[in-house]
Amino acid sequence: MEFSERFVVKPGRDVDLTEWDPDDTAGFDRKKQAKPVIKENLKRLSELQYLLYAENKRAVLVVLQAMDAAGKDGTIRHVMGPLNPQSCRVVSFKAPTEEELAHDFLWRIHRAAPRKGEIGIFNRSHYEDVLIVRVRKLVDESVWSRRYEQINEFESMLASHGVHILKFYLHISKDEQLSRFRARLEDSTKHWKVNPQDFKERRRWNDYMRAYRDVLHRCSTAHAPWFVIPSNKKWFRNLAVSQILVEAMAGWNMEFPEATCDVSKIKLE
């Protein structure tokens, strides 16, 4: 079974995250076993990125969402880090600015969408507006409840213009999050990552799980699927994300464009 099929949330599926094991490793026993597969995936991804850039007919949008400490930055570093930065761009979405708040919630997202030939990576995304906004009650339910359909329509529009959307929810357990928070406190080189607000958000874990359940149920579509990636094991997270990207991009049957001139007539002097 391909990873894409194993971890995808099928459109309309009811989602209970307690049924998705964050320790799942799809039969891989240890990091040593996965390492050569990850290496081959990254090599293939670089080849596919080059082909994507040359063909210049489509774009890729990778959306990363997760609870704090689940590994969004680590995924970007280990999976997307080896890619050519000429055609790969990472955008991190934090609290909206005054200018962004003066527009609709998708305005800043649309501005950051990748152009043809490019891979765009969203570290957090438009889904914050039905996650943290919902959990913290930053807007009324009558506002955020309409956003699921607005998001689906927005992603459908991007897809109709050649943007392939792959969305990854990095799934860790509450105990694993605690362990990673503790490691940050004990390692002085990680103190810069410590944000007291993250510890407060942890108290709302169940509220976030309900919010993620609705996101995964209502916004996983054929043109913009969600994948639930078991992420308690960082090495498996990297393996799964890289494998799904390779499976998707290889399936597009991309081709190099024809030469724009008769290369046989060019003489080197």
> Mean pLDDT over residues 203-219, rounded?
97
- The whole-angstrom distance between residue 215's C-alpha and the CA centroid of its chain comes to 14
Per DSSP, 59 falls in state E
Average pLDDT over residues 83-107: 96
Query: In this predicted structure, what is the pLDDT of residue 57?
Result: 97
pLDDT at position 260 is 86
72-92 pLDDT, tens digit per residue, is: 999 999 999 999 999 999 999
Query: Does position 261 have pLDDT exceeding 90, yes or no?
Result: no
pLDDT at residue 65 in the model: 98
Residues 6+ apart with CB under 8 A from 82: 42, 45, 46
| Helix, strand counts (H, E) of the chain | 12, 6
Residue 267 lies in a domain: no
Predicted pLDDT of residue 199: 86
* Residue 236 counted as domain residue: yes
Q: Tell me if 105 is assigned to some domain.
A: yes
Is the residue at 262 inside a domain? no
pTM: 0.96
In a domain, 106, yes or no: yes
Mean pLDDT check: name the lowest of 6-15, 113-122, 197-206, 221-230: 197-206
pLDDT(164) > 90: yes
Our measurement of the distance from residue 72's CA atom to the centroid of its chain's CA atoms, rounded to an integer in Å, reads: 8
d(CA 42, CA 184): 28
Total count of domains within the chain:
1
Query: Domain range spanning residue 125?
Result: 3-252
User: What single-letter DSSP state applies at residue 17?
Assistant: G
Using a pLDDT cut of 70, give the percent of the chain over it: 100
Residue 76 maps to which CATH number? 3.40.50.300
- Non-local (6+) Cβ contacts of 154 within 8 A are 106, 109, 110, 126
Q: Does 261 map to a domain?
A: no
Does position 32 have pLDDT exceeding 90, yes or no?
A: yes
Would you call 9 exposed, middle or buried from its count of C-beta atoms within 10 A (0-12, 13-18, 19+)?
Answer: buried
**Top-confidence residue, 190 or 156:** 156
- Residue 265 has a pLDDT of 86
Tell me the C-alpha distance between 120 and 246, whole Å. Answer: 15
Would residue 264 count as lying in a domain?
no
Q: Is residue 59 part of a domain?
A: yes
Q: What is the pLDDT of residue 262?
A: 85
